[in-house]
Amino acid sequence: MSAPIFPQDKVLVSVEVSLKPSSTARIDDVRSAVERMLEKRSLSYTDGPVPVPPDDQFLTENVQRICICDTDEWVQNHEILLFWQVKPVVHVFQLSEEGACEDVSGDGQPSTFNEWILPAKEFDGMWESLIYESGLKQRLLRYAASALLFTEKGVNPFLVSWNRIVLLHGPPGTGKTSLCKALAQKLSIRFNSRYPQCQLIEVNAHSLFSKWFSESGKLVAKLFQKIQEMVEEENNLVFVLIDEVESLAAARKAALSGSEPSDSIRVVNALLTQLDKLKSAPNVIILTTSNITAAIDIAFVDRADIKAYVGPPTLQARYEILRSCLQELIRTGILSNFEDCESLMLPNYGSLKEKLNMPEVQDARTLHMCKQLLETAEACEGLSGRSLRKLPFLGHAALASPYGCDPSKFLSTMIDTARRERSELPD
């Protein structure tokens, strides 16, 4: 006899429901409708979109997209999550279409920050487009979720200490800035029942140390006054992103050595003090990035709890990044030339080995393309995620005839382009 399944044995799976921009339905109503729909569906759970049932008028009117997330954490070795093993956790949200709101002071000064209302349309799909191995994204999500939970439950910080500072460090172009923004977006969706409002403030550290130094002190004060106001509203979740945080340390050092106006040291110190103050607020998460892997000489990041190294993509990640590029070129018709091209699905890295081992049951053309794609991914060793995402464009530009290109021919050009790009890498 098999063991009874208790509700607490169920696996929690996030289901994200994006509302149409026009929808005015109540979040709770949509959540219940989706829960009922999932219950009726009785299918297995895998990452990806769930079609909105066309006969459900309420859902078709209000819902743009339903998506199952993060099941890969539970399913290893091609196991399948069956519906009765799962407790879906439904998150309903509506994307803000406002876009970045710059702080324009109007007197020709560079803006000191950008602000977004989250979840923002601009960041939709960003999290999914970032590909890392070894569960980096899940780890970040869980860390941040625990930090917010500890705060919410009022855990005494003298007894258990934690902070809400994230530091992503690693070489250029590995997606650190994107990952910070995508993480903020994800958390705004996952925590929207606790924090119905959410903002992301991206501080332009560089612009604070511009030639308008005499104004910088005022700019910092103004910026933090604004952040402080947001934070005081306890239903707000505020993310503060400080990109290339090492520039703060560098500016301070330069000021101390006298090569920068002495004003700058005051500005850096003011900024660091303000951040230090801010980090005690329960509803703030400070996101920082750095290209320097060695310890950064700034006390507040030094104590970051959530530190993660973001490295160049591994073979598997390279294959997946290039695969997503190729699928996009097929979707848009840039690559075509055979009838069923639109429906051509290249297998993911996980099922690639299996496919290569059983060549007889595969479509010869798809198999050939997989091999080429793998070869391209191998040729790209050492390239950053940023270079990889540019490669299909460079490859396409190198083609003799840019229209209706055959995917397989395109891939051969890509391999050459990859080799050329690699040969231009500094040693």
Ligand X SMILES: Nc1ncnc2c1ncn2[C@@H]1O[C@H](COP(=O)(O)OP(=O)(O)OP(=O)(O)O)[C@@H](O)[C@H]1O
Q: Which residues bind ligand X (CB under 6 A)?
A: 129-132, 172-178, 289, 291, 313, 317, 321, 385-386, 389
Q: How many distinct helices (H) and strands (E) make up the chain?
A: 15, 11
Residue 251 contact among ligand X, Mg ion, none, beta carbon within 5 to 8 Å by kind: none
Range list of H helices, 123-262: 126-129, 136-152, 176-190, 205-208, 213-232, 246-256
Residue 220 contact among Mg ion, ligand X, none, beta carbon within 5 to 8 Å by kind: none
CB nearer to Mg ion: pick between 177 and 247: 177
Q: How far is CA 91 from CA 9, 53, 86, 143, 318, in A?
A: 21, 18, 15, 19, 31
Q: Which two tokens stand for residue 157?
A: 């910080």
Question: Which helix (DSSP H) or strand (DSSP E) does residue 392 occupy?
Answer: helix 385-397
- Least separation in angstroms between residue 33's CB and ligand X is 34
* 5-42 per-residue burial string, b: 16 or more CB within 10 A, e: under 16: eeeeeeeebbbbbbbeeebebebeebbebbeebbeeee
Q: Does 247 bind Mg ion (CB under 5 A)?
A: no
CB nearer to ligand X: pick between 166 and 317: 317
Residue 357's contacts (CB-CB under 8 Å, 6 or more residues apart) are none
Q: Does 316 bind Mg ion (CB under 5 A)?
A: no
CB nearer to ligand X: pick between 148 and 414: 414
- Least separation in angstroms between residue 176's CB and Mg ion is 5
- Least separation in angstroms between residue 320's CB and ligand X is 8
- Least separation in angstroms between residue 311's CB and ligand X is 9
**Alpha-carbon torsion (53, 350, 73, 322), positive or negative:** negative
Residue 386 contact among ligand X, Mg ion, none, beta carbon within 5 to 8 Å by kind: ligand X
CA torsion angle 409 414 420 422 (round to 10): -150
Q: How far is CA 386 from CA 129, 134, 278, 312, in A?
A: 12, 19, 32, 10
CB nearer to ligand X: pick between 131 and 251: 131
Q: Does 111 bind Mg ion (CB under 5 A)?
A: no
CB nearer to Mg ion: pick between 169 and 190: 169
Q: What distance, in Å, lies between the first and last C-alpha atoms of the chain?
A: 62
DSSP letter string over 68-104? EE-GGGT--TT--B-GGGEEEEEEEE--B----EE--
- Least separation in angstroms between residue 170's CB and ligand X is 7
Residue 236 contact among Mg ion, ligand X, none, beta carbon within 5 to 8 Å by kind: none
Kind of pairing, strands 48-50 and 63-69?
antiparallel
CB nearer to Mg ion: pick between 44 and 177: 177
CB nearer to ligand X: pick between 94 and 178: 178
Residues between 148 and 187 that touch Mg ion (CB under 5 A): 177
Residue 174 contact among ligand X, Mg ion, none, beta carbon within 5 to 8 Å by kind: ligand X
Residue 379 contact among Mg ion, ligand X, none, beta carbon within 5 to 8 Å by kind: none
Q: What are phi and psi of 274, to 5 degrees?
A: -60, -40
Identify which of 73, 68, 238, 185 has the alpha carbon closest to the alpha carbon of residue 139: 73
CB nearer to ligand X: pick between 171 and 402: 171
- Least separation in angstroms between residue 333's CB and ligand X is 22
- Least separation in angstroms between residue 191's CB and ligand X is 23
Residue 131 contact among ligand X, Mg ion, none, beta carbon within 5 to 8 Å by kind: ligand X
Return residues touching Mg ion (CB under 5 A).
177
